[in-house]
Structure formats: structure tokens, C-alpha cells
């Protein structure tokens, strides 16, 4: 039985395979030996490669667990699929946002590319440790396009005030990633019973929708309470003249730029 070590969200499994792979690396044995151990640890991965020559196991674990739970065995050898999944959808989403903006407005923007990267990180977080690289790419593309629409079309349609596009990027992006996790999760990454629609478990989509609905309801109630408290104390919004002048000058008496 593997031992679970670590605290809080930073937990990982220590197995004989984990320790064996760590010993092989620390003694400088040829990489082919550790690669073979990784292939045995991750039977669903065809191609395995190193991201570093000699990597500490804790550094490897920290990199991945911070972006979502890992339910597979962890070794200090980076499998190409697992190295790809948590870190690259941000680039995919940045490109998707850029092309969407390019098509709609005729030119891309740096702010849009940065917003797309953030949207990709938000969307992949619930899926990390559950989807393979192909699923990660799909989530990245979806996050870039959907969040671009949310920060432009959706915001203008409802007319809500969200200057930093928190809802459009984090709210819509998180919901997109959570929903697609139920579609794209595969058992060879997440472990037995952690599969989604494409892996024969359509009920997971309904579970994800239920979770999204509960969180949305909680957020709406909590936000309403906080907004009312702010409104009753210091006021929720400044006067229109102050808005036009700028809070930096009107409230703080200095210019930001």
C-alpha cells in the first residue's frame, strides 16, 4: 500500500516505483532505466522523456499539485503527457483568444493575449490530473474563445460593470473548465473511476453541471451580502464626476501615470 505524504493540498503517493526511480536518478544511472520505470508507472503513456537531468521529487510534485490534485503515481521523471497537461493550455488559450479577437476586431491585442493565457490557467485547474494532453488542448482552445465572448458580447448584452473582466475570465473560464472536465477526463490519468464522457462515463457531465450550479448559487448569495455590506458602510460606487476624473486623482490626490 502506498503512503500518502505531504500536508494540505500538497499530497502525493510514495510507492516502491517512486522510490526506485528516485534512487536511479540520484545515483546517476542511465536515463533509460528511469524512463522504463516511468513507463511502468504510467502504462497509458507511449512516449516518456526528461524535463530535467536530475530533478528532486518534491520540486516535481510541487509543480503539478499546485495546479490540481494528482491521482496517479508520481515519480521524479516527467512523463511527456503529464508535463504537458497543466502548463500548456494557457498558451493555447492565449492563441485562441488572439485569433478570435483578430477575426472579430481585425487586429489582436497584447491585453487580449494575456487575458487568454489567464483564462487557460483558470480553465485547466479543475481538469489538472484528470485529462490527457489532447483534452488539455481542447480546454485551452475553448477557454480562449468562450472567455473572449464572455468579456465582450456577454458583458455588453447584460451591461454589467466588470472593468477587470473577473466574471468573464475567472467565472466563465472556471465553469468552462469544470464542465469540460466531465467530458474529457480519462481514467488512465485520473485513476479508476475518474473518467468522463469520452471515457464511458456520461454521468460525470451531470455531476460537473451540478457542482457548477451549486458554486454559482453560493457565489451569488455571498457576493450579494458583501456588496450590501460595502454599500451600507463606505458606499458601493463613487459619483459619476469622480469616475470620469479618476479615483487616483479624486480620492488619492495623485496620478498613477
Q: Do the strands 3-7 and 10-14 form a parallel or antiparallel pair, or are they unpaired?
A: antiparallel
Residue 18 has pLDDT above 70, yes or no: no
pLDDT in tens, 74-107: 333 333 334 444 456 788 999 999 999 999 999 9
Residues in the chain: 257
pTM (predicted TM-score):
0.66
pLDDT in tens, 208-238: 999 999 999 999 999 999 999 999 998 888 8
Cα–Cα distance for residue pair 108/113, rounded to 1 Å: 8
pLDDT band at residue 17 under the 50/70/90 scheme: very low
Mean pLDDT of the chain: 75
Burial of 254 (0-12, 13-18, 19+ CB in 10 A): exposed
Cα–Cα distance for residue pair 196/66, rounded to 1 Å: 22
Amino acid at each position: 500500500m502506498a503512503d500518502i505524504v505531504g500536508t494540505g493540498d500538497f499530497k502525493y503517493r510514495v510507492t516502491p516505483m517512486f522510490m526506485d526511480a528516485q534512487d536511479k536518478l540520484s545515483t546517476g544511472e542511465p536515463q533509460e532505466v528511469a524512463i522504463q520505470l516511468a513507463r511502468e508507472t504510467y502504462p497509458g503513456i507511449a512516449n516518456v522523456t526528461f524535463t530535467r537531468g536530475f530533478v528532486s521529487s518534491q520540486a516535481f510534485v510541487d509543480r503539478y499539485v499546485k495546479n490540481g490534485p494528482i491521482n496517479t503515481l508520481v515519480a521524479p521523471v516527467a512523463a511527456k503527457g503529464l508535463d504537458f497537461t497543466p502548463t500548456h493550455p494557457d498558451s493555447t488559450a492565449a492563441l485562441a483568444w488572439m485569433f478570435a479577437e483578430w477575426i472579430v476586431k481585425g487586429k489582436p491585442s497584447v491585453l487580449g493575449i494575456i487575458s487568454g493565457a489567464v483564462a487557460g490557467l483558470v480553465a485547466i485547474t479543475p481538469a489538472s490530473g484528470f485529462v490527457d494532453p489532447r483534452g488539455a488542448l481542447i480546454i485551452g482552445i475553448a477557454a480562449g474563445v468562450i472567455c473572449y465572448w464572455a468579456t465582450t458580447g456577454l458583458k455588453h448584452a447584460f451591461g454589467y460593470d466588470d472593468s477587470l473582466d473577473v466574471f468573464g475570465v475567472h467565472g466563465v473560464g472556471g465553469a468552462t473548465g469544470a464542465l469540460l472536465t466531465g467530458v474529457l477526463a480519462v481514467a488512465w490519468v485520473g485513476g479508476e473511476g475518474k473518467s468522463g464522457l469520452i471515457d464511458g462515463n456520461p454521468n460525470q457531465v451531470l455531476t460537473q453541471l451540478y457542482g457548477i450550479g451549486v458554486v454559482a448559487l453560493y457565489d451569488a448569495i455571498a457576493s450579494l451580502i458583501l456588496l450590501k455590506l460595502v454599500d451600507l458602510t463606505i458606499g458601493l460606487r463613487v459619483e459619476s464626476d469622480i469616475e470620469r476624473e479618476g479615483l487616483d486623482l479624486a480620492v488619492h490626490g495623485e496620478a498613477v501615470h
